[in-house]
Amino acid sequence: MLNYFCVSTYNYMNLDYLLETVDAQLIESRNRPLNPAEIIILRGIWQYKTYNQIAIEAGYSPGYLTNVVAPELFGRLSEVIGQHMSKKNCRVLLESHVSTQVTPETKPVKQEQLGNPAKVSQDTFPCYPSGSIPLESPFYLKRSSIEEQVYREVEKPGALIRIKAPREMGKTSLLLRVIDHANSLGCQTISLNLEQVDQAILSDLNQLLRWLCVNIARQLKRKPMLDEFWDEDLGSKLSCTLYFQEYLLESINTPLILALDEVNQIFEHPQVAKDFLPLLRSWYEEAKRLPIWRKLRLFVVHSTEIYVPLELNQSPFNVGLPIQLECFTHEEVQQLAKCYGLDWGDGEEIPKLMAMVGGHPALVHLTLYHLSIGKITLSELRETTPTTMGIYRNHLQRHWATLEKQPELATALDTVVHASTPVALDPILTHKLSSMGLIKVSGDRAAVSCDLYRQFFTKRRSSQI
C-alpha cells in the first residue's frame, strides 16, 4: 500500500514526466505523439474533471472531446500498454505502466531535447498518416502554385477564399499553412472547426451565431458581451453582423482572418445553411461598401461529399477565390516517395501506384507509409487492396456506406466500373460521384478514378447479386 502511494504521488507530482514517457512510447510503437487536445484531456483527468469541465475551460465542444478525441486517444494508449483503457481507469493504468516500464536509467527524452515531438518522430521514421499534416512535418507535399495564389489573396482587404475537395484530400493541411502565413504577416487569426459544434447548436441559427461570436471573442481575448448586441427585434443575423462590426472589428487594428473548417457540417441542416451561408456572403459584400469590413478575410473550407440544395445567389460558394484541391501528379508522388525513403527513380513503381490509387493524397500517403516500414511490398499490396481487410478498408467502407444510402448513386457507379470506356451519366449523378472523388469526368463522359475503386466496388456489388 505504501509503495503504491509513493508511486501515485510521484506521478501526480510529475505529470509532465508521465506525458513525456507516454509520448516516447507512442513514437517507439510507430504511432503519432499526443496532440494538444489529447494532452488537455489527460491533464483534466489528473485534476478529476468531467469532459464538460475540460471542454469549457479549453474552449472545445464537450461532444467533440467525448466522441472524437477521447476514443482515439484511449484506443492508442490501450495498444501501448496492452490493456483496455477508459477515462475511469486511465490514470491508474498509466501511472502503473510508467512506474514499471520506465526506470531511472531509462528516462524518456525530455521535451526540450525533443523540440517538436512530431518533427523528431517523423525525422526518425514516418508516423502513421491520419488527419491533417503538422506544420513541421517533412511529409507535407507543398502545392506551390495553389499556396502562392492563396497567400496573395489573403493580403487583399475583404478577401473570401473557398477551399473545397472530397474528404482526405488535404484541405485542413493547406489551411494550417495559410493560417501560419497569415500569422507571419501580423494578422489576427481565428480558426474554428464546425465538427466541434454540437448538433443541437448546428440545427439552430440563433445558437450557431452566438456560438460563433463567443468563440471569436474568446480567441481575441475579449469578453463575449453578447447581451449588449443581441436584439430579438433585429433578429440573429443582423445582431451577429452588428456584433462583428461594432464590437470585434472596431477593436482591432490589424486584419482578422476567420477560418471556418468543415463547413459541410452545416449542410446537413438545410434551413440553417440557407441563412448562415448568405450571411457570410453579405459580410464579403459589405467590404466593398464599408472600410471596416475590409479588415475581415474569410476562409471557408468544406468537403464536396455532402449535398444540399442552395440558391447560387444566396450562398458564398460562387463568390471569392475558389480553390479546388486535386489528386497528386506522377511527379508529386515521386517526390513524396523520396520523403518516405523510397528511391524508385524512373522505375515502374510510380505508374503502378498511380493506377492503383489515382494519386489520391490520403491513399498515396497510406501506401507509402506501409511500403516504407517494410511490412509489405507493392505487389503484395496490390493483391490485398480491394478487400475489406486491406489497408484502405476504412476509406472504402466509408464510401460504401454512402452508396448504400443512395441506391441511384450505387447503380450509376456500377455502370462506370463495368464499362471499358468512359460513359455518359445523368448530370446530377455525375456531379455527386465526381464530388466524392469516385469518378473523373472529361466532357460529358465519366470513368472510374482508379483501379482500387473498380476492383472493390465490382466485388461488393457482385456479392449482393
Q: Which of 7, 360, 335, 15 is nearest to 169 (CA)?
A: 360
Burial class (CB in 10 A: 0-12, 13-18, 19+), 97: buried
Q: Which of 210, 212, 215 is nearest to 227 (CA)?
A: 210
* Least confident window among 41-45, 67-71, 189-193, 277-281: 67-71
- Say if 144-324 and 393-464 have the same CATH topology: no
Q: If pLDDT is split at 50, 70 and 90, which confidence band does 56 have?
A: confident
Q: How far apart are CA 78 and CA 265, in angstroms?
A: 30
Q: Is the pLDDT of residue 106 over 50?
A: no
Q: Look at residue 358 in the predicted model and tell me its pLDDT.
A: 92
Q: What's the sign of the alpha-carbon dihedral 150, 153, 154, 160?
A: negative
Give the model confidence (pLDDT) of 399-410 as tens digits. 988 888 889 999
Q: Look at residue 8 in the predicted model and tell me its pLDDT.
A: 35
Q: Is the pLDDT of residue 232 over 70?
A: yes
Amino acid code (one letter) for 292: I
Mean predicted confidence (pLDDT) in 193-216: 94
Mean predicted confidence (pLDDT) in 175-204: 92
Q: If pLDDT is split at 50, 70 and 90, which confidence band does 182 have?
A: very high
Mean predicted confidence (pLDDT) in 243-263: 94
Give every strand in the sheet of 160-165, ordered side by side: 188-193, 256-261, 296-303, 160-165, 321-324
Q: Look at residue 233 in the predicted model and tell me its pLDDT.
A: 92
Q: How far apart are CA 432 and CA 441, in angstroms?
A: 11
Q: If pLDDT is split at 50, 70 and 90, which confidence band does 317 have?
A: low
Query: Which of the pair, 67 or 134, is modelled with greater confidence?
Result: 134
Q: If pLDDT is split at 50, 70 and 90, which confidence band does 357 have?
A: very high
What is the three-class DSSP state of 182?
A: helix
Q: If pLDDT is split at 50, 70 and 90, which confidence band does 387 have?
A: low
Query: If you compute the radius of gyration of the chain from its CA atoms, what whole number of angstroms results?
Result: 24
Q: If pLDDT is split at 50, 70 and 90, which confidence band does 363 have?
A: very high
Q: How far apart are CA 284 and CA 420, in angstroms?
A: 46
Say which CATH superfamily domain 144-324 falls into.
P-loop containing nucleotide triphosphate hydrolases (3.40.50.300)
Q: Look at residue 332 in the predicted model and tell me its pLDDT.
A: 92
| CATH number of the structural domain 393-464 | 1.10.10
In angstroms, the Cα distances linking 231 to 86, 240, 251, 276 are 44, 9, 21, 17
Query: Which of the pair, 438 or 428, is modelled with greater confidence?
Result: 438
* Least confident window among 45-49, 128-132, 382-386: 382-386
Q: How far apart are CA 455 and CA 417, in angstroms?
A: 8
Q: How far apart are CA 355 and CA 231, in angstroms?
A: 58
Domain ranges in the chain are 2-124, 144-324, 330-384, 393-464
Alpha-helix runs per DSSP H in 135-263: 144-154, 171-184, 199-202, 205-219, 236-243
How many angstroms from the chain centroid is the CA of residue 15?
A: 29
Q: Is the pLDDT of residue 414 over 50?
A: yes
How many angstroms from the chain centroid is the CA of residue 368?
A: 20
- Asked whether 89 and 97 are in contact (CB, 8 A), the reply is no
Cell of 288: 466593398
Q: Is the pLDDT of residue 122 over 50?
A: no
Q: What is the pTM of this model?
A: 0.70
Contacts of 198 (CB under 8 A, 6+ apart): 61, 62, 63
DSSP 232-276: TTT-HHHHHHHHIIIIIGGG-SS-EEEEEE-THHHHTSHHHHHHH
Mean predicted confidence (pLDDT) in 324-351: 87
Q: Look at residue 6 in the predicted model and tell me its pLDDT.
A: 35
Cell of 193: 472547426
Mean predicted confidence (pLDDT) in 327-340: 91
- Asked whether 381 and 355 are in contact (CB, 8 A), the reply is no
Q: Look at residue 281 in the predicted model and tell me its pLDDT.
A: 92
How many angstroms from the chain centroid is the CA of residue 342?
A: 26
